[in-house]
Chain A
């Protein structure tokens, strides 16, 4: 089902400007927002079941509840606009077509969290989108929407995929290398400049105004009980109509690909789909009819919903070559902090290069699986496990293609 909870203004010309955004109902959630107590706003978000849309899918409201009791010390909201996961290009649509939706969502979230200063961390490559958001911020300050209750600072990254990982992002924001932090044993908020902070993805925050304006039940009317609401799903690769489309969770993947995506490009057969960004396990084409677009269904299919950015591969694609492309990416982007990740990604990349050059042995494929095991679960962040799971899924789904490349 096509929806327009987040994407309502995307097709309206000029909706990135304050006047046109306002004329189309932007900032319409503020009267109800300020009629509620901050705690009631959090409660509303908890009840909506809103899940983080940056890839993890953890419940947003429960993350907000981890903030310590109010005192006179600062607390921060950080919006993760670092989107760098291959296949994912959804947050930039919000920044491009409706930046005021993000600001409106930040006003609501900051109000709920008693935050006076929020940061938006945007990937360095997004020059155009950073400039557009900066303009929207100026407009919002000019109109008195920002400045009194809340200040927002735009912070630009400088080319590092790992800075999309929330603790690496915070380190980077503090002026350090983007190295992920060790995770505590118990649930607690993140920490920025020594104070508690909440880190949410752009699309997550952009979902808040709808929930506040229309109530949690209206949000829950979309999606499934466990994956409520909608998400901006992406299509790229060998598909007729690539792009970003807002759909309710629970929509059939096959329907999305065929009816909205126009099917596989040039009428070729579907070979495989990477469901939600490159770190998700690959799905074989024949399994697609059983999959619906929600966290639970993708988990049952031994993959993950991730960011919802789907990469479509037709029958002509060499799976080992596609995997090599991603290994190069991960090798390049490993932050280098943990040895299994720093060395493992490069080692796997070199083995696969040898295999693709026709000099591989059958034992090299087993070695790839073995290295994956030594990387999985032995590092500070989930970067290495993501690479390992990705690699194992490619080899398990299409073993014949790997072994066919090995003469002995």
Chain B
């Protein structure tokens, strides 16, 4: 399996090159590009990136694996992230997580057998005033309850 950026992303890459004095600084922007294009970051993609940034694939992996938001294997169609840190815990994130685990039939870190949902627990999302907060794909849902989550899951399933 080989990897390449879409022509649209290639154009973006060329534009970004003008914004940074070093090629290596494009690491995070291009990793994001890859993940947004493919849904995850494969070894092939990291090899491709290494060549593009004139560094070794190991260096790309070393940096990429430092950050929690890159996936090194495919995840479900929808990524549900439950914030567990202090304000959210005080707001009831534990019961929100228990509800999601029960409803989806999976535990934290797993993907449903139909590949539709991946459930993870995350550290502070920066939504403390709207605790408990759940982030689905790229959208924050604040002050969630079992009822609002149930409606959201229904919507995502249909």
A152, closest chain B residue (CB): B19
Residues of chain A having any CB pair with chain B under 8 Å:
74, 83-89, 92, 117, 123-128, 151, 153, 155-161, 172-178, 193, 234-238, 242-244, 274, 278, 309, 311, 313, 317, 322, 325-326, 328-329, 332-333, 335
Counting chain B residues whose Cβ lies within 8 A of the other chain, the interface size class is: 35 or more
Contact of B25 among A128, A175, A236 (CB under 8 A): A175
Expressed in whole angstroms, the Cα–Cα distance for A278 and B67 within the complex equals 21
- Per-position binary interface string of chain B over residues 49-89, scored 1 when its CB falls under 8 Å from any chain A CB and 0 otherwise: 00001000000001100111110000000000000111101
User: Nearest Cβ distance between residue B145 and chain A, in whole angstroms?
Assistant: 15
Residue in chain B with minimal CB distance to A131: B138
Q: How far is the CB of A117 from chain B (nearest CB, A)?
A: 8
Q: Please judge, given known A-B contacts A158-B32, A158-B68, A238-B90, whether A89 and B129 are in contact too, CB under 8 Å.
A: yes
A278 adjacent to B126 (CB under 8 Å): no
Interchain CB contact under 8 A, A235 and B129? yes
| In-complex Cβ contact of A156 among B29, B89, B122 (8 A) | B29
- Shortest C-beta distance, B130 to chain A (Å), equals 7
In the complex, what distance in Å separates the CA atom of A88 from the CA atom of B28?
24
Chain B residues within an 8 Å CB radius of A88: 126, 128
B31 adjacent to chain A (CB < 8 Å): yes
Complex Cα–Cα for A173 and B63 (A): 11
Query: Once the chains are docked, how many angstroms separate the CA of A86 from the CA of B86?
Result: 7
Instruction: Choose one: A117, A244, A274; the contact of B86 (CB below 8 Å).
Output: A274
Quick one: given A89-B128, A158-B67, are A332 and B123 in contact (CB under 8 Å)?
yes
Whether the Cβ atoms of B89 and A325 lie closer than 8 Å is yes
Residues of A within 8 A of B106 (CB): none
Known: A87-B128, A89-B129, A151-B19. A311 touches B25 (CB 8 A): no
CB of A47, distance to nearest CB on chain B (Å): 33
Partner of B126, one of A123, A173, A175, A193: A123
Whether B28 and A156, one on each chain, are in contact in the complex, defined by CB atoms closer than 8 angstroms, is yes
Smallest CB gap from B53: residue in A: A175
Q: Say whether B62 contacts A177, CB under 8 Å.
A: yes
Interface string of B105-148 (1 = CB under 8 A from A): 00000000000000000111111111100010011100000000
Does B125 lie within 8 Å of A125, measured CB to CB?
Answer: yes
With A234-B128, A244-B129, A329-B123: A193-B32 Cβ-Cβ less than 8 Å: no
Find out whether the CB atom of A243 lies under 8 angstroms from the CB atom of B86: no
Q: List 6 A-B contacts (CB under 8 A).
A: A87-B128, A123-B126, A124-B32, A126-B126, A175-B24, A274-B86
